[in-house]
């Protein structure tokens, strides 16, 4: 048996902790393990190196991914996937662990269909892989956003302004939702819930009438850029409005306790599944339990938006 491992797609804090757990569990069981640099692109370029216990020393606390990552267009073609399969055979790698988000796990599924033994570990700050309660990296990204928005609130308060804060997440509003709840945002705009611009402005105006002069509007990037909102909001409310795009700081930084915890557990369980000849799945956390769910099944689980939390924000921010 020989395991290969790669990280793919947008990096997420905790990827290194997951990598460490996979390598350490494999070494514990005397299974040779190889790191594939630069995700699927590196696999196609045969950028493959042996990993040891020492390769993953002192990385549990690091953001990013020491294996580095990429989004490969060629790998998304059938020719690319067949080439990748041949390269794995050439290197004698009979099991592949993929750490990444939805797109990366779809890539793992394509390899599974070509007969490769794959194991997935969900890692993306977007938290849009619905089969797992939480994906590695999301908790850290939310904490980073909270820290930044707390600073933005200081100056927003001092100047009696509105600040529209744009966060990442692609089509998923989870970063905006969870960070918005935790910073006491007045308004949260996410792709999952229809919104009415007048309604938003009326909420801000009601606050103004009561003497509330500073407001944080959380905007998920799936609802556009903060630049599209600041002028209309200022015109309608007559409150000076500024905007901030938190950008790539959300992807970096040392992983939180929660992300290290799920990363370590998922990495461990991925190798245990391989040893038990139960590959072909993704390790997910559901209702507190770690489950090896078949990839085809996991990829079909819809992402459920936490509407309950969203509704509470509206009540708590009156
Ligand atoms: O999927 C993670 C993510 O950070 C998204 O939130 C964001 O839309 C995208 O990646 C940015 O991608 P890139 O790193 O290619 O600019």
Residue numbers of the domain that contains 193: 140-251
The domain that holds 72 is classified in CATH as 3.40.50.450
**Torsion 21-263-57-96 (CA) sign:** positive
What is d(CA 63, CA 82) in angstroms, rounded to the nearest whole number? 32
Which residue's C-alpha comes closest to atom 2 of ligand 1? 10
pLDDT for position 65: 98
The answer to whether the CB of 252 falls within 8 A of the CB of 13 is yes
For residue 306, is it within any domain? no
Biggest CA–CA distance in the chain, Å, is 71
pLDDT for position 278: 98
Number of H helices, E strands in the chain: 11, 11
pLDDT for position 106: 98
Q: Does 148 share its domain with 131? A: no
The answer to whether the CB of 244 falls within 8 A of the CB of 226 is yes
Q: Does 99 share its domain with 113? A: yes
Please write the tens of the pLDDT for every residue from 221-270: 999 999 999 999 999 999 999 999 999 999 999 999 999 999 999 999 99
Q: Does 9 share its domain with 117? A: yes
For residue 313, is it within any domain? no
- Angle between the 174-183 and 138-158 helix axes, to the nearest 10 degrees? 50
Q: How far is the CA of 273 from the centre of ligand 1 (A)?
A: 30
Q: What residues flank ligand 1, with Cβ below 6 Å?
A: 10, 101, 124-126, 168-170, 221, 251
What is d(CA 10, CA 3) in angstroms, rounded to the nearest whole number? 23
**Arithmetic mean of pLDDT, 34-62:** 98
pLDDT for position 317: 85
Give the domain-ending residue among 221, 236, 251: 251
Model's pTM, two decimal places?
Answer: 0.98
**Torsion 140-247-168-132 (CA) sign:** negative
pLDDT at 34 over 80: yes
Q: Does 116 share its domain with 170? A: no
- Angle between the 138-158 and 257-275 helix axes, to the nearest 10 degrees? 170
Catalytic position from the list 126, 128, 139, 174? 126
Quote the number of domains for the chain. 2
Q: Does 284 share its domain with 198? A: no
pLDDT for position 318: 77
Q: Does 120 share its domain with 157? A: no
Q: Does 61 share its domain with 205? A: no
Q: Does 149 share its domain with 241? A: yes
Give the strand pairing for 241-245 and 281-286. unpaired
- Ligand 1 atom showing the smallest separation from residue 71 Cα: 15
Please write the tens of the pLDDT for every residue from 170-198: 999 999 999 999 999 999 999 999 999 99
Which residue's C-alpha comes closest to atom 13 of ligand 1? 10
Tell me if residue 47 is catalytic.
no
Q: Does 117 share its domain with 22? A: yes
Q: How far is the CA of 71 from the centre of ligand 1 (A)?
A: 10
For residue 304, is it within any domain? no
- Ligand 1 atom showing the smallest separation from residue 170 Cα: 8
For residue 219, is it within any domain? yes
What is d(CA 132, CA 172) in angstroms, rounded to the nearest whole number? 14
The answer to whether the CB of 139 falls within 8 A of the CB of 12 is no
pLDDT for position 264: 98
pLDDT for position 287: 93
Per the prediction, the chain carries an average pLDDT of: 97
């Amino acid at each position: 048996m020989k395991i290969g491992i790669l990280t793919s797609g947008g990096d997420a804090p905790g990827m290194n902790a997951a990598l460490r757990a996979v390598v350490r569990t494999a070494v514990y069981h005397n299974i040779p393990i190889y790191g594939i640099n630069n995700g699927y692109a590196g696999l196609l370029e045969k950028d493959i190196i042996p990993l040891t216990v020492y390769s993953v020393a002192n990385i549990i606390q690091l953001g990013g991914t020491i294996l580095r990552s990429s989004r490969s267009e060629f790998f998304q073609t059938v020719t690319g996937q067949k080439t990748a399969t041949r390269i794995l055979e050439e290197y004698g790698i009979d099991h592949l662990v993929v750490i990444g988000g939805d797109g990366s796990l779809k890539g793992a599924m394509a390899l599974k269909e070509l007969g490769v033994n794959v194991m997935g570990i969900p890692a993306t700050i977007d938290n849009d892989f619905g089969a797992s309660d939480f994906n590695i990296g999301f908790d850290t990204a939310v904490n980073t956003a909270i820290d930044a928005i707390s600073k933005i609130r200081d100056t927003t308060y001092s100047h009696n302004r509105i600040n529209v804060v744009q966060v990442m997440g692609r089509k998923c509003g989870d970063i905006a939702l969870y960070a918005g709840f935790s910073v006491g945002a007045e308004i949260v705009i996410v792709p999952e819930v229809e919104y009415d611009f007048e309604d938003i402005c009326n909420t801000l105006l009601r606050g103004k009438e009561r003497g509330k002069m500073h407001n944080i509007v959380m905007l998920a990037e799936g609802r556009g850029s903060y630049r599209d909102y600041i002028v209309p909001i200022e015109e309608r409310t007559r409150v000076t409005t500024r905007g901030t795009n938190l950008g790539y700081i959300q992807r970096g930084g040392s992983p939180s306790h929660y992300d290290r915890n799920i990363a370590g557990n998922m990495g461990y369980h991925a190798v245990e599944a391989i040893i038990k000849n139960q590959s072909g799945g993704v390790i997910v956390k559901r209702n507190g339990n770690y489950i090896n769910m078949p990839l085809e099944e996991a990829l079909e689980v819809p992402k459920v938006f936490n509407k309950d939390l969203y509704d509470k924000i509206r009540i708590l921010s009156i």
